[in-house]
Amino acid sequence: MADDKNEEGTEFRLVAKDELRFEVESKATVVMEMMEGKGEIFGTELAKGRKYKFSAGAKVAVYTWHGCKIKLNGTTEVAYISKETPMLMYLNTHVALEQMRVKADEENTRGPRAIIVGPTDVGKSTLCRILCNYGARLGRAPIFADLDVGQGHTDIPGTLGALSVERPSDPEEDYSQLSPLSFHFGHKSPGDNITLYSLLVQRLAEVINLRCEKSKKTNVSGCIINTCGWIRGEGYNMLKMAAGAFEVDSVMVIDQERLYTELRRDLPEFVSVVLLPKSGGVVERSKNTRAEARDARIREYFYGIDNSLYPHTFEIKFTEVKIYKIGAPELPESCLPLGMNAEDHKTKVVPVIPSMSLLHHVFSVSAANSIEDNITETNVIGFVVITAIDMEKQAFSVLAPSPRPLPKNVLLMMDIQFMDIK
Ligand code: ADP
């Protein structure tokens, strides 16, 4: 498979419909170059002669419709060529979506809205990326909506968000150059606060609908929605809720016949539900690896890919910010104030008193100005981490992407923590 190995790297010759898969070893980087032919990474065409750099843990697949020659330099954990891929079926899925866009354009109606569902580690986010990139390559601008709060593909973990994919994503950086619309959830699983999760999914769908009303291009291009791998019990109900909130017309189920059968039974008839195979290249991640990926995503927010960004650490007085948490601890119905039910509690904005327990937590900086705004449903504009607390001085040190002052003073506390160590 590997044609040639020397100090200059290892060369791989791919024929049409081959896929070169590689994983970068921990603490290593791999530089990849396409020497000849045509190839793509998750739907984005590669530029011949450009050196693409991938850091530790990256799992990459170069697919070619026509054949190409690839050179890898650096330590890979695995690197092999596979001839068995679901790419043709993924391409057909894209073609079906594109036909819906053409029709929407002609009839001045809404373009496709597709939700991708399935267990964890079947390539849901990857399929979203491929479909968005293929759409963008045809001059469309699909919206990528990410409901996977555990990984945070549009922003950081603990958020739900969306972005408009006007150009194919960069193979090295994914969508990190685009500014997403994000809402604060604060936890890594929807199950930690189902009421808040449903509210935010509906809010996100609403905002996207407003955007579609304003822009014909967005409306026609449609929406690709990523979900998390929680597909049983309440998780299944969350998928149905999301499908309803976004008024989807297509559901792509990856690698789960049972889920496919259930959704066909439970969703309205006009929704087309298709079952797609998973790629053999998708690597199963342990709980640990997933936690590491979450951490890496937050690190990337502050430090950039390859440490290309320089975050700032500065002190803020307790009095300079207002800190809240969304969702109060559960109380028995009998203890609730008159007219309030337990569900309201889950979306309630609760003030947080500064204490040592805030250390290392991630905080969203809300776009809201004060508690008078509807903080729960207001988008967030950035994130900080509290890296030190001085109770005597009544001040925190925060890690922030930009220098003092914070752009707004309403901070929302996440369950998620980040240790700022290299
Ligand atoms: P899910 O969203 O279902 O949890 P992902 O799409 O995030 O799964 O895929 C898991 C990992 O597998 C990612 O790191 C992704 O880069 C990698 N991956 C996806 N498809 C391939 C492939 N064909 N070859 C190699 N790695 C892949």
Kindly state whether residues 155 and 225 are assigned to the same domain: yes
* Residue 422: pLDDT over 80: no
Kindly state whether residues 258 and 149 are assigned to the same domain: yes
Kindly state whether residues 160 and 243 are assigned to the same domain: yes
CATH of residue 123's domain is: 3.40.50.300
Instruction: List all residues 6 or more positions away from 37 whose beta carbon is below 8 Å from its beta carbon.
Output: 14, 64, 66, 67, 68, 69
**How confident is the model at residue 177, as a pLDDT?**
73
Q: Tell me, what's the ipTM? A: 0.98
- Determine which of 145-149, 208-212, 263-267, 329-333 has the lowest per-residue pLDDT on average: 329-333
Ligand 1 lined by 21 (C-beta under 6 Å): yes
**How confident is the model at residue 7, as a pLDDT?**
61
Instruction: Flag whether 80 is in a domain.
Output: yes
148 CA → ligand 1 middle, Å: 14
* Residue 336: pLDDT over 90: no
Instruction: Flag whether 385 is in a domain.
Output: yes
Kindly state whether residues 52 and 115 are assigned to the same domain: no
Domain termination site, one of 231, 251, 276: 276
Kindly state whether residues 55 and 78 are assigned to the same domain: yes
Query: How far apart are the C-alpha atoms of 375 and 380, rounded to whole Å?
Result: 9
Instruction: Flag whether 302 is in a domain.
Output: no
* Residue 335: pLDDT over 90: no
Domain termination site, one of 34, 53, 84: 84
CATH of residue 351's domain is: 2.40.30.330
Beta strands in 42-175 (DSSP E): 44-45, 51-55, 59-74, 76-82, 113-117, 143-146, 159-164
**How confident is the model at residue 105, as a pLDDT?**
97
Kindly state whether residues 362 and 249 are assigned to the same domain: no
Tokens of 72: 């890898």
Instruction: Flag whether 39 is in a domain.
Output: yes
Asked if residues 389 and 356 have their Cβ atoms less than 8 Å apart, the reply is yes
Pocket test of ligand 1: the residue of 63, 124, 126 to mutate, having most ligand atoms within 8 Å of its CB, is: 126
87-107 vs 124-137: helix crossing angle, rounded to 10: 50
Ligand 1 lined by 266 (C-beta under 6 Å): no
CA-proximal residue: ligand 1, atom 19 (nearest): 282
Instruction: Flag whether 54 is in a domain.
Output: yes
292 CA → ligand 1 middle, Å: 15
Kindly state whether residues 69 and 113 are assigned to the same domain: no
Instruction: Flag whether 126 is in a domain.
Output: yes
Give me the mean pLDDT over the 103-110 stretch: 97
Tokens of 23: 């994983």
Kindly state whether residues 216 and 252 are assigned to the same domain: yes
Pocket test of ligand 1: the residue of 128, 282, 285, 294 to mutate, having most ligand atoms within 8 Å of its CB, is: 282
Kindly state whether residues 321 and 269 are assigned to the same domain: no
Tokens of 240: 């149905």
Domain count, the chain: 3
Ligand 1 lined by 283 (C-beta under 6 Å): yes
**How confident is the model at residue 234, as a pLDDT?**
95
Written as one letter, the residue type at 276 is L
Count of beta carbons in the 10 Å neighbourhood of residue 150: 20
Average pLDDT of the chain, as a whole number: 93
Give me the mean pLDDT over the 118-136 stretch: 97
* Residue 334: pLDDT over 80: no
Asked if residues 189 and 230 have their Cβ atoms less than 8 Å apart, the reply is yes
Kindly state whether residues 124 and 72 are assigned to the same domain: no
Written as one letter, the residue type at 365 is V
Count of beta carbons in the 10 Å neighbourhood of residue 253: 26
Binding residues for ATP: 19, 59, 121-126
Give me the mean pLDDT over the 303-317 stretch: 91
Give me the mean pLDDT over the 300-315 stretch: 91
Three-class SS state of 194: helix
Kindly state whether residues 114 and 257 are assigned to the same domain: yes
Domain of residue 176, residue span: 87-276
Ligand 1 lined by 290 (C-beta under 6 Å): no
Ligand 1 lined by 126 (C-beta under 6 Å): yes
Ligand 1 lined by 279 (C-beta under 6 Å): yes
Kindly state whether residues 135 and 264 are assigned to the same domain: yes
Give me the mean pLDDT over the 103-127 stretch: 97
58 CA → ligand 1 middle, Å: 10
Instruction: Flag whether 158 is in a domain.
Output: yes
- Determine which of 115-129, 246-260, 290-304 has the lowest per-residue pLDDT on average: 290-304
pLDDT (tens digit per residue) in 364-413? 999 999 989 999 999 999 999 999 999 999 999 999 999 999 999 999 99
* Residue 268: pLDDT over 90: yes
- Determine which of 5-14, 113-122, 125-134, 197-206 has the lowest per-residue pLDDT on average: 5-14
122 CA → ligand 1 middle, Å: 7
Give me the mean pLDDT over the 24-43 stretch: 94
pLDDT tier, 289 (very low <50, low <70, confident <90, very high otherwise): confident
Three-class SS state of 65: strand
**How confident is the model at residue 285, as a pLDDT?**
84
Instruction: Flag whether 334 is in a domain.
Output: no
* Residue 333: pLDDT over 80: no
CATH of residue 70's domain is: 2.60.120.1030
Ligand 1 lined by 86 (C-beta under 6 Å): no
Q: Which atom of ligand 1 is nearest to the CA of 280?
A: 23
Domain termination site, one of 21, 52, 84: 84
Ligand 1 lined by 59 (C-beta under 6 Å): yes
pLDDT tier, 56 (very low <50, low <70, confident <90, very high otherwise): confident
**How confident is the model at residue 24, as a pLDDT?**
92
282 CA → ligand 1 middle, Å: 4
Please give the residue that has the higher pLDDT: either 288 or 140. 140
